[in-house]
Structure 1
């Protein structure tokens, strides 16, 4: 019996030794091909793939299924970051969408498929609902021919043109780059070197450690980058996830710089150094730092539920300067309506170059001006029944005291978010795809943050009754 395939916040994923099979790849490609052929018969669809096991074979298989619907299918001739696929789709008026075979930030025993719409963006919930409804247990046996093309080179040529390469070259920057064995391996480091940056790449070639590395740009997976930055005297370490659409960083002291702080730094750079303006779209798990900065810079702030799809829906409305999520996905719509971790790396390099400051100095300036806050997310695994119960209970839950503190703001827009007088906050969100509750907290001290996380865990386990 065919398994039920469900798209999460950014595509479908499954274990390579489980549901990620030829059959299920065919089923998804069949549904997407039928949808796109109805939208625009004979249109172009771009296909890409990452560095994981058999990714190229799966991409070519999906491409032949798409081509069976009369679509012109162009599969990249080598592994590519997801942003390269998104940019290519968005730049080609003949393109109707894109399909990316990637495990993204998930463990290396997983693989997945991401779909992109005609502007290169993630698409709306309605788009994925339609694809899911169209997935057949026994898809039609249609196959066509595919083209192998290089769309990676034009993408990197464009990235090169987006930043002040002269300022970057003059700054004499030294960075450590960690692609976590993902699909930006070798590519970004070579681009940085072409700009005059002394770039040291780690985890860029397949080795025995690759399968045990979790390609997510957060601690502890950035520990090697932290050590390398300190030992080489680099100004910063830049980290991307497995498919290059998320970003993390390390300062010159080996301290992890969270995506929350990166969003704030880049917002300031765009407004102050690039003289750009517009709305800022953040998710409910966004940092107090960025909210304060947006207010001071005069940027209208829009808060949406967690997931870049919600940010994309706001981008489609227009007048968005920057959209960011706590997981490290950051988009600048003036460039394209999607996340691009490689472009964010370049903006950080440009920021360091034009200010003459290291990443740590920039973070220190940020915190001196807007306050120091400590953020953390805790993923609490619980029974599926607990997740369902929380979905029903949280919309009506208003705890009078949490961790000995009285909430001054309560929101049920995306789970349960509690705000406190010192701008610390706690957020609980039941996962939509796993038996898990995600608990987020930010506070002026590590001790208070951890108290809030513990209180959130108690709530998730039912101690609020």
Structure 2
């Protein structure tokens, strides 16, 4: 998401993020809250707005500032009484018929130098791009000085109770798995560990201290930031490790050998539990950058798949149709719309634990069985940083690119739905996509072997460099 320079504040897909030393301060936060207050009070006067916040620097004070400004517009504001996961705020909003939206003070997986504001709609899902554009236009140079009264309440307790009702307590308690939980100093700290303990798990929690600098790590559940969890799983001879990102809307899983499961493995496993363990049936929505393994497993389970351009708002729009059972982003952000039209890392963790308990097997064994069934693919991404002029030049020529071959292979399909995506008959593919918020071109590739994947990556990167 975009940062602020001068007096300009620009929203990304679902809110605003910026560095604390480059615009994210109380004055600019008040300007954003003031604009939201204007928009919501005009659209739905006297409605309820939920406010939550994460564990990073100034989030609690920022949430109180936002809550007071929104309340001054006659809105009924309910603010979390403690740091809380983004999905907890979204779930509270979705359960309240009087609610019209939510604001969460978080920069999610970004480092401690960043602050952020997420905006959610009445159902806990993302608001429209049109709404964010209107909010941008409503941002004034000087916000109102009026402040109103708001209520502080427990948003976490009811949410955790609901999550516990979605899985089989008996089978988890019978297995009593030993689990390392790493909320990465974020807003899932204590929440997931408490929930798993109540379900009968033996829990070892790491990174639990209050550290506004996140102990030097990024609260992003992938390597190298997942190293401590991987090591703890082996050291404690645990059955699995569970990681949450900074605001707990995304999760990752570590097997008993200390291996971080890639999304191409974790998502099909969770999907299998939903379909075979919970009787779910319907469509799976993925972004065009997701692994082919997800589509393979969906097909094996009898589920249709729909691929959409990158951005959770695109997945959300598909979920407005009631036949969707799962939405997936490239790095494992998973949404189960029967629970909430928002990604929820804690739910993914619970489904993974339930899956392990039901199987009676180790995670590494389950991974091997899955790959023997649907095959194994090798996935990677590279970023090419360009100057703004070169980035725009490449955007201009991209719609006309139609390679007859890439890395010596003839594609069976070329699509410009989200940049340039080249598909081959063996399920391998490459995608070139300029970032919408910075002068970066993202290049993705997947193939049956790492060598073939790297050949596709190199050829796609060369295509970018030749394109401007």
Corresponding residue for 1:310?
Answer: 314
**Offset at residue 298 of structure 1 (A):** 2.0
Contact 2:325/2:336 (CA < 8 Å) preserved in 1? Answer: yes
Moved over 6 A (4+): none
What's 1:463 paired with? 466
Which 10-residue stretch deviates more, 126-135 or 413-422? Answer: 126-135
C-alpha contact 2:112 2:212 (8 A) present in aligned 1: no
Counterpart of 1:63? 67
Deviation at 1:95, TM superposition (A): 0.8
For the Cα contact (< 8 Å) 1:103–1:113, is it kept in 2? yes
Instruction: Tell me, in whole angstroms, the C-alpha distance in 1 between the residues paired with 2:136 and 2:363.
Output: 43
Cα displacement (A) at 1:118 = 0.4
TM-score by length of 2: 0.96
Q: Hey, what's the Cα distance between the residues in 2 that align with 1:235 and 1:395?
A: 48
**Correspondence list, 1:221-370, <5 A:** 221-370=225-374
1:165 aligns with 2:151: no
Alignment of 1:11-410 (within 5 A): 11-207=15-211, 210-410=214-414
Corresponding residue for 1:449?
453
**Deviation string, structure 1 residues 265-297 (Cα, Å, up to 9, x no partner):** 111111112111111110000111111112222
Instruction: Give secondary structure in 2 for the equivalent of 1:388.
Output: helix
3-state SS, counterpart of residue 228 of structure 2: helix
**Following the alignment from structure 2 to structure 1, what is the Cα–Cα distance between the partners of residues 163 and 334?**
15
CA separation of 1:159/1:433 partners in 2, compared to 1, >3 Å: closer, same or farther?
same
Secondary structure at the residue paired with 2:235?
helix
Q: CA deviation at 1:362?
A: 1.9
- Seen in structure 2, the aligned counterparts of structure 1 residues 332 and 20 have a Cα distance that, compared at 3 Å, is same
Moved more, 320-329 or 205-214: 205-214
**Structure 1, residues 384-403: CA drift from partner, whole Å, max 9, x if none?**
22222222222221122222
> 1:19-57 CA distances to partner (integer Å, 9 max, x unpaired)?
101121111111111111122111111101100011100
- Distance (Å, rounded) in 2 between the aligned partners of 1:46 and 1:140: 20
1:49-76 Cα shifts (integer Å, max 9, x gaps): 1000111001100111111110011111
Is the 2:172–2:353 contact (alpha carbons within 8 Å) kept by the matching residues of 1? yes
Identify which of 410, 413, 418 aligns with 2:422.
418
The C-alpha deviation readout for 1:91-150, integer Å capped at 9, x for no partner, is 011111100000101111111000010011112222222222222223333321221111
Mind listing any 5+ residue stretches in structure 2 that lack a counterpart?
none
Question: For 1:389 and 1:417, how far apart are their aligned partners in 2?
Answer: 19
CA, structure 1 residues 406+464, in 2 after alignment: closer, same or farther (shift >3 Å)? farther
1:217-245 per-position Cα deviation (integer Å, ceiling 9, x unaligned)? 11111111111112222121111110000
2-structure distance, mates of 1:259, 1:125: 28
The Cα of 1:207 is off from its aligned counterpart by 4.8
SS of the counterpart of 1:317? coil
Size of the aligned set, in residue pairs, is 464
CA distance in 2, matches of 1:360, 1:129: 46
Q: CA RMSD in A?
A: 1.6
Distance 1:128 1:281 in 2: 24
Q: Deviations over 1:374-427 (max 9, x none)?
A: 112222322122222222222221122222222222111001111122211111
* Residues 93 and 207 of structure 1: CA distance in aligned 2, closer, same or farther (over 3 Å): closer
Separation in 1 of the partners of 2:16 and 2:254? 30
Are 1:81 and 1:184, in contact at CA under 8 Å, matched by a contact in 2?
A: yes
Task: Please identify, of 356-365 and 104-113, the stretch whose mean Cα deviation from structure 2 is larger.
Answer: 356-365
**Structure 1, residues 163-202: CA drift from partner, whole Å, max 9, x if none?**
1011101012111111111110121111111111111111
Change in Cα spacing, 1:355 to 1:415, as seen in structure 2 (3 Å) is same
Q: CA deviation at 1:261?
A: 2.1
- How far is 1:211 from its partner? 4.5
